Amino acid sequence: MLPQALAIPALLLLILLFILSVALLLNPKEHKNGRKYPPGPKPLPIIGNLHQLGKLPHRSMHELSKKYGPVMSLKLGKVPTIVISSPETAELVLKTHDIVFASRPITQASKYICYDSKGIIFTEYNSYWRNMMKLCMFELLNMPKVQSFAPLRREEVGLFVESLKKSAASREVVNVSEKIGDVVENTVHRMIWGKFDDKFGVKQLARDVLLLMGVLDLGDYIPWVGAFDLQGLVRRFKKAHKKFDEVLEIIIKDHEASARLTDQKSVQSIDFVDILLSHMHQSKDKHAITKTNIKAILLDIIIGAVDTTIMSVDWNMAELIRHPRVMKKLQDELKNVVGMGRMVEEADLPKLPYLDMVMKETFRLHPPAPLLPPRECTEDITINGYFIAKKSRVLVNSWTLGRDPKMWSDNFEDFYPERFHNTDIDSHGHNYQFLPFGSGRRRCPGMLLGLTTVPFLLAQLVHCFNWELPPGVSTDDMDMTEEFGLTTPRTQNLLAIPTYRLIKKVN
């Protein structure tokens, strides 16, 4: 018999143990080996929680996280996956423990299309990635380099405005999304290859690659689907890669030949291929840059730059047309700062605070990469009290962060750029409720370029033209549904009629 003094605590302990065991039986995942695992919906055999992703996984995960919390566990096929859904936990992953989450999983697409993951985006975190990132940051995407391409952007945007002016003169309905796509593609491709006539169809090949990269590849989650190529994707990946590679070879050979012919190219005509070729085989160690590395970087730059920029400008225009008050306020700012006699110059951008707020508000509601490209955890770690095993895939739901009512107040669903007024929230990745370019070591290296191209193009569209929807279409009819892929564009193209509004001839 237990002494009376101990009997009551022992009984209490027994009751407690019983309650705990029942709780563990009901939710066996949450505690194992003394570890507390993140909660999440129960996975099915083989597919795990794949069936719960729906057409728009960021939205499905948003709904699930309301029930399971900001560190949620899913099993995608056989891949343990953690979804991060609050600014506090995002900070733990992207700042406090950044190095543990700085790797990316290798996917079939990155293996077969992106030169066995030899670029930047889909590369594991290691000395190879650090070297490639350094090369990109110092040689291609730093501020002086971004500025050196300003004349190119100005020329392409000038052509873009001229073509819209023609449509305006004939009151044509313009496919604004397509036009934005063209000007962004022209700008990015010219920066990469220089002025070219695209006789090999590299733009279309790049489009094919971008489309394939966005397909949900079940082989990444259920190995036998990949091994037997049941979706037929591996065949398509290899075919797209081969075609793209053949054209790249020709373009690179062309550049090598012209480099031999002309010792000195003018600074303005130097493109990314020239810059990268000048670094080829410079060092003798394992980090020497080879032609394959160059091709992989060029492809990753296309993957990183094209669709993100197009969809950013497109969503901005769609939101502005839906919100005439905001459009008018932005046009007034442009009128006051730039005047009605000329187009916007890049030098004007820092003097346009409302334009900056509009762009941020669009990024908040429509982040181009709503789940950020996946990270992979490189060691066992505990986040917010939850154990996360090495090799888990980690998704930061940037779309949810932009809708956190604690951070953005109850009107978080509204398009209201003024919410950024008098705040120090910027796009650089240290405000964890707002991560359009990600954060930490893997933050977007093209951020400066993106933060120049997007507002420059947008400002031009808004300053040079008034926009109205086609006859019979009202703002309520605008379909704002998203499509999930590598980025998250609108499913419908934006159609509108421009009216030219500048007074003098465009300079």
Q: How far is the CB of 396 from ligand HEM (least distance, A)?
A: 7
- Which residue lies nearer to ligand HEM by CB, 192 or 502? 192
Residue among 217 and 314 whose Cβ is closer to ligand HEM: 314
> Shortest distance, CB of residue 379 to ligand HEM, whole angstroms?
19
Residue 333 CB, nearest distance to ligand HEM (Å)? 21
Rounded Cα distance between 211 and 203, Å, is 12
Residue 502 Cβ, how far from ligand HEM at the closest point, in Å?
26
Looking at the Cβ atoms of 174 and 457, the one nearer to ligand HEM is 457
How many Å apart are CA 483 and CA 490, to the nearest integer? 6
Residue-wise DSSP of 414-432: S--GGGGTT----SSS-ST
Q: Which is nearer to ligand HEM, 176 or 457 (CB)?
A: 457
CB of 104 to ligand HEM, least distance (A): 6
Could you write out the DSSP letters of every residue in 397-464? Answer: -HHHHTT-HHHH-TTTTS--GGGGTT----SSS-STT--TT--GGGS-TTHHHHHHHHHHHHHHHHHH
The least distance separating ligand HEM from the CB of residue 501, rounded to whole angstroms, comes to: 26
Residues 272/298, Cβ–Cβ less than 8 Å: yes
User: Structure tokens of 250?
Assistant: 């020709």
Given the rule CB under 6 A, which residues bind ligand HEM? Answer: 120-121, 133, 141, 300-301, 304-305, 308-309, 312, 368-369, 372-373, 436-439, 442-446, 449-450, 454
Smallest gap from residue 374 Cβ to ligand HEM (A): 8
CA-CA distances (angstroms) from residue 406 to 70, 400, 403, 418? 13, 12, 9, 17
Helices (H), 228-381: 233-261, 272-278, 291-322, 324-337, 353-365
Of the two residues 121 and 496, which places its CB atom closer to ligand HEM in the complex? 121
Closer to ligand HEM by Cβ: residue 168 or 449: 449
Between 38 and 370, CB nearer to ligand HEM: 370
Task: Name every residue whose Cβ is closer than 8 Å to that of residue 284 and which is 6 or more positions away in sequence.
Answer: none
Q: Which is nearer to ligand HEM, 213 or 225 (CB)?
A: 213
Helix (H), strand (E) at residue 184: helix 176-193
Residues in a beta bridge with 103 = 376
Q: How far apart are CA 229 and CA 176, in angstroms?
A: 38
DSSP 268: G
By beta-carbon proximity to ligand HEM, the closer residue of 137 and 478 is 137
Tokens of 480: 């704002």
Q: Which of 454/459 has CB closer to ligand HEM?
A: 454
Q: Find the radius of gyration of the CA atoms of the chain.
A: 26
Q: What is the largest CA-CA distance in the chain?
A: 101
In this structure, the number of other CB atoms found within 10 A of the CB of residue 126 comes to: 11
Helices and strands of the chain, counted as H and E runs: 18, 11
CA distance 346 to 158: 13
**Least separation in angstroms between CB 311 and ligand HEM:** 8
Q: What angle do CA 216, 222, 225 make, to 5 degrees?
A: 80
Residue 464 annotated as binding? no
Q: How far is the CB of 450 from ligand HEM (least distance, A)?
A: 3
Indicate the annotated binding residues: 444
Indicate the annotated binding residues for heme: 444
